[in-house]
Amino acid sequence: MSPSPTTSREWHLTARPNGWPTPADFALREVPVTEPAEGRILVRNRYFSVDPYMRGRMNDVKSYVPPFQLGKPMDGGAVGEVIASAADGFAVGDHVVHGLGWREVSDVPAAHATKVDTSLAPLSAYLGVLGMTGLTAYAGLFDVASFKEGDTVFVSGAAGAVGNQVGQMAKLRGAARVVGSAGSDEKVRHLVEDLGFDAAFNYKNGPVREQLEAAAPDGIDVYFDNVGGDHLEAALSSFNVHGRATICGMIAAYNNTEPTPGPRNMALIIGKRLRLQGMLVNDHAALQPQFVKDVAGWIASGELKYEETVVEGVEQGVEAFLGMLRGENTGKMIVAVNQ
């Protein structure tokens, strides 16, 4: 193992974006690294995550998670190896997942770090298929949406980190039909030919409502919403009676500077007796043991595929984040911290 570093680079938010973020809103700064205090560990990060929810944290508004502070390091999921420990239960060389990403080296409270088993999957997978992303898909489909065998499922943003897992999990548990939307013809092909979706469409090729009705002519029972906007409106139109929606994200509106109009067909919720429920993955921590058991088994058997779009270098962190917002990733977007 290489010697402990004396400095670390970390990304700071320097201005609150108005609309789409730009590189000028961020700064990569070098800070000193010191030995960890009692109860803490020093982690050399190997990968950190960039996620859609981080855009909301760049606004100074009250939400379910505090906003990023100006002039302070940003945070988010990261995985790495312990290079110094002042905490019981953690030794140098352990691999851990924690929440102080966006930097090369993290000084982490041991209580906020979890050791991971790299024999089950590569380290980076704990930011995706075996991490928050995978648990979001698992809990959102099976718990929040009350999925049952024989359901027809529609997933928006289906080529993204959460969406592609939702579709595959639905098929593994006996969905009658799984339909996905994506932003390019290549992603549509990938969903059907590689990931086993029954149908998919490019939302840029025509009205979402019309394309969804063609892809699911008998209606849908479950909608997993990562997009909002016209996708949610289309889902309301296509729902069968007693349909259920998991409202996980609304990336279509994250960079808008004006309020986004709601679906124009909300009255359908009444007659169809629909259930639309928002979700935050932290509410479903109790599912973690069963989630890891099921997903690790599906990975080992080859039944569940997972994908990563890896951007090399901590200095590319902001570009990776912006690329994720633009939909340039297939599967989970992560940054490899090369040191």
Digits of tens for pLDDT over the chain (339 positions)? Answer: 556 799 999 999 999 999 999 999 999 999 999 999 999 999 999 999 999 899 999 999 888 889 999 999 999 999 999 999 999 999 999 999 999 999 999 999 999 999 998 988 899 999 999 999 999 999 999 999 999 999 999 999 999 889 999 999 999 999 999 999 999 999 999 999 999 999 999 999 999 999 999 999 999 999 999 999 999 999 999 999 999 999 998 876 666 667 777 799 999 999 999 999 999 999 999 999 999 999 999 999 999 999 999 999 999 999 999 999 998 988 899 999 975
The CATH code of the domain that includes 221 is 3.40.50.720
Please indicate, yes or no, if residue 77 is contained in any of the structural domains.
yes
Please indicate, yes or no, if residue 104 is contained in any of the structural domains.
yes
Angle at 14 between CA 8 and CA 19, to 5 degrees: 130
Please indicate, yes or no, if residue 231 is contained in any of the structural domains.
yes
Residues 99, 138, single domain; the answer is: no
The CATH code of the domain that includes 82 is 3.90.180.10
Please indicate, yes or no, if residue 291 is contained in any of the structural domains.
no
Residues 271, 314, single domain; the answer is: no
| Dihedral sign of CA atoms 315, 127, 124, 174 in order | negative
Q: Which residues pair with 186 in a beta bridge?
A: none
Please indicate, yes or no, if residue 297 is contained in any of the structural domains.
no
- State which amino acid sits at residue 243: G
Residues 157, 256, single domain; the answer is: yes
Residue positions counted in the chain: 339
d(CA 165, CA 153): 13
d(CA 235, CA 245): 9
Task: Tell me the helix, strand and coil percentages in the chain, rounded to 5.
Answer: 30, 25, 40
Residues 209, 317, single domain; the answer is: no
Domain encompassing residue 86: 7-128+307-336
Residues 84, 157, single domain; the answer is: no
Q: Which long-range contacts (CB under 8 A, 24 or more apart) does 254-258 make?
A: 254/52, 254/55, 254/56, 254/325, 255/17, 255/19, 255/20, 255/21, 255/55, 255/325, 256/19, 257/18, 257/19
d(CA 230, CA 272): 19
Please indicate, yes or no, if residue 295 is contained in any of the structural domains.
no
Residues 43, 103, single domain; the answer is: yes
223 contacts 239 by C-beta, under 8 angstroms: yes
- Write down the pTM of the prediction: 0.86
Residues 137, 166, single domain; the answer is: yes
Q: Which long-range contacts (CB under 8 A, 24 or more apart) does 227-230 make?
A: 227/156, 227/157, 227/181, 227/251, 227/252, 228/252, 228/253, 228/260, 229/253, 229/260, 230/203
Please indicate, yes or no, if residue 236 is contained in any of the structural domains.
yes
Please indicate, yes or no, if residue 118 is contained in any of the structural domains.
yes
d(CA 230, CA 300): 37
**Block residue for tokens 């420990």:** 85
Residues 55, 150, single domain; the answer is: no
**Domain total for the chain?**
2
Q: Which helix (H) or strand (E) holds 28?
A: strand 26-32
Residues 124, 137, single domain; the answer is: no
Residues 15, 114, single domain; the answer is: yes
Residues 65, 115, single domain; the answer is: yes
d(CA 128, CA 310): 12
Residues 222, 146, single domain; the answer is: yes
